Amino acid sequence: MDILGVIPARYSSTRFEGKILADLLGKPMIQHVWERAKQSLLLDEVLIACDEEKVAVVCREFGAKVVMTAKGHTSGTDRICEVVNPIDVKIVVNIQADEPLVHPMMIDTVARALSEDKTLSVATLMKKIEDPALISNPDVVKVVVDKNNFALYFSRSPIPFKARNSSVGEPVVYKHIGLYAYTKDFLFIYKNIPTSSLEKTECLEQLRILQDGYRIKVLETRYDTIGVDTPEDLKQVKIYVEKIK
């Protein structure tokens, strides 16, 4: 197998328990994610990795392939590693279970990057921020990149920050979208990198990669998502989906 999509699905979310099964226009939220992932042109297979049988039952009912994992994983990355360890696969795409608006082309963008450039180990996405209010929102992660679109830094703070004596216009600010493609080899390197000081400070797992000296390719997308962390986020998603129907 060349490219595998994995949706790590933890039931016991701290801020919104059971959100992956929450109703979104007549379907559990995770079904929307799975259906969009299945529309990818590059994924050879899509698996849902979950730790609760009640999640597995719902997912099997709508036709998904499900793999049960241990409950003790501290991150989706660890859950994915358990799933892919016995599978002969080159590239793994980590698809967030709480991103029901993920577009299939977003998945194909990160998968294609690793497929076409064998020097890359990790790829992710960024989207230009259009709403200035989002720039100061710590729940919206920002990213800055170098001239080759490799990440320089990710932060919950506004980056780049325009100094008061700066002579340039308003900077373009990019939101980081947490969809990742990894080579299988790097996925296990990443799993074994110790938690870094920057990761602990910003509560951003991807900073572990940068602080350990590895590179992350960041590709711009015209598509956006709304991550569901609270019931209020789910209401926003419902309003958005109803508008575009």
Name the E strands within the chain: 3-9, 23-24, 27-28, 45-50, 65-68, 91-94, 122-128, 142-145, 151-155, 174-183, 217-220
pTM of the model: 0.94
How many residues are there in the chain? 245
Q: What are phi and psi of 84, to 5 degrees?
A: -85, -10
By DSSP bridging, strand 174-183 and strand 91-94 are antiparallel
Q: How far apart are CA 130 and CA 153, in angstroms?
A: 20
Q: How confident is the model at residue 78 (pLDDT cuts 50, 70, 90)?
A: confident
**pLDDT higher than threshold 90 for residue 37:** yes
Q: From 98, 18, 12, select the one nearest 58 (Cα to Cα).
A: 18
pLDDT, tens digit, 9 for 90 and up, residues 174-232: 999 999 999 999 999 999 999 999 999 999 999 999 999 999 999 999 999 988 988 88
Q: How confident is the model at residue 13 (pLDDT cuts 50, 70, 90)?
A: confident
pLDDT at 44: 97
**pLDDT higher than threshold 90 for residue 155:** yes
DSSP state at residue 170: P
Q: Judging by beta carbons within 10 Å of its beta carbon (0-12, 13-18, 19+), is residue 40 exposed, middle or buried?
A: buried
pLDDT, tens digit, 9 for 90 and up, residues 87-124: 999 999 999 999 999 999 999 999 999 999 999 999 99
Sign of the C-alpha dihedral computed for residues 18, 10, 202 and 150 taken in this order: negative
Q: How far apart are CA 207 and CA 197, in angstroms?
A: 9
For residue 92, the cross-strand partners are: 4, 182
Percent of the chain whose predicted confidence (pLDDT) is above 90 = 79
More confident residue, 52 or 220: 220
Q: From 172, 112, 106, select the one nearest 145 (Cα to Cα).
A: 172
pLDDT at 91: 98
DSSP state at residue 55: H
Amino acid in position 126: M
pLDDT at 242: 80
**pLDDT higher than threshold 80 for residue 244:** no
